[in-house]
Every structure is written in C-alpha cells, then in structure tokens.
A and B are shown apart, each in its own frame.
Chain A
C-alpha cells in the first residue's frame, strides 16, 4: 500500500528565509504527487502537482524517483505562507493518500 511520510509536524522559519517541507512516498508504480495547502479556517486546496511542473505562489516541488521524495521549496518565505501543508500521492484504486501534514509558521 502506498504511504506518504512528512517527517516534520511543525516548521518555523523567518520571513525571507528559504523553506523546504519534506515529503517521502512509497509506491511501487508511477505515482502522481501533489501538495495541498490549508490556510487558517479555510478548506484544503491544491497547491501544485508534479506533472504540471509549475510554480505556484513561489513554491516548487521536484519529484525525485531515486529518493522517492517530493519536497516543497520556496526561496523566500512570506508570512502569508503560514499554513498546513499536505503531501499526497495517487495509488491503487485511484485514491489519494495524504501525509500527516506539516504546519508551517513564517515568523516576522
């Protein structure tokens, strides 16, 4: 069964500092990887997906099949980036499996 690991429950960085949220996955096939974000008191929303190779709100994520990782990065964190971030992967039965989430706090 697929599994997604986000090792950091909490992550704090200062405004303007680089930020990296880690995600490792286990899936034997060719998964699709996603990052979802949940701002305070808002619903989860898709941030980015690996197949589109896009940058959203300054965030990027590269799929590293050798390390089975899909870390989320931003070179200069902003206070409005403070949120809960979930990594997710597709898997069997065409369902998404989510990690346990990382709460990012960007300090002024």
Chain B
C-alpha cells in the first residue's frame, strides 16, 4: 500500500531535549515536505526536499533541521525544542510531475 508514515504519532517532551520525528514514503517520490498545523494559521511549510541531499527552507524553518540521505526518508530534527514548537506536524511527499501531495498521519508534539 502506497503511504507516508510518521513516527512517533504522539510525543510529549521537555524544553531543550533533542528529538527526531521520522518520515518515510514508499512511493519513490522525489519531493518531501514538513508542515506544522496550528489553529488559525493553517498549514505552514517548515522545510522541503526536492531529492536526495537537496533541501531548502520553507516558511517557518527556525528551530528545525532536516536531512535527506535516502530518497524514502526525511526526518525532522528539533535540536532544542521550545514550547512554541508545540504543534501538529505533517510530512508529505509527491512525485516531481504533480502537485498532489500525499500526507502522513501527523505527529502531535507537546513541549513543556
């Protein structure tokens, strides 16, 4: 089954404790993105990747890092999480020939 998976689905952590949210897709998609979803603000892009070893900042990249060492994986790294990063995070992927994005199930992160 074609899908985008994220882990963990739920995470509660404390300020400053490094964490990684994994994202994996099995559709051989070139493009992958990370978004955060906040009430009243909708979906905002954090980072995106157009292919292996090619990443770029989205609209709200501060406080986040990404890497794309393999085509199927696109982890989101929070080196020193802060409470304002409490949010619902979505990973998405798409092929280069279309704008249709396939979204993961979301990761709800709480930073205390």
Binding site for B on A (CB under 8 A): 6, 9, 32, 34, 36, 42-46, 49, 86, 90, 93-101
Contacts and interface: CB of A to CB of B under 8 A. Distances in A.
Task: Give the size category of B's interface with A.
Answer: 20 to 34
Contacts of B33: 95
B41 A100 contact: yes
A43 B105 contact: yes
B101 A96 contact: yes
B48 A95 contact: yes
Interface string B25-38: 00000010101000
16 contacts: A34-B99, A43-B90, A43-B103, A43-B106, A44-B90, A45-B103, A49-B100, A86-B42, A86-B43, A90-B99, A93-B56, A94-B99, A95-B48, A98-B42, A100-B42, A101-B42
Interface in B80-102: 90, 92, 99-101
B56 A99 contact: no
A46 B101 contact: yes
Contact of B103 (A44, A49, A93): A44
Nearest to A42: B105
A9 B40 contact: yes
Contact of A101 (B43, B45, B58, B105): B43
A32 to B, nearest CB: 5
A92 to B, nearest CB: 11
B48 A98 contact: no
Nearest to A101: B42
Contacts of B50: 94
Contacts of A95: 33, 45, 48, 58
Nearest to B42: A100
B75 interface: no
A96 B90 CA distance: 14
A84 B87 CA distance: 17
B61 to A, nearest CB: 13
Interface string B5-28: 000000000000000000000000
Contacts of B104: 43
A46 B48 CA distance: 19
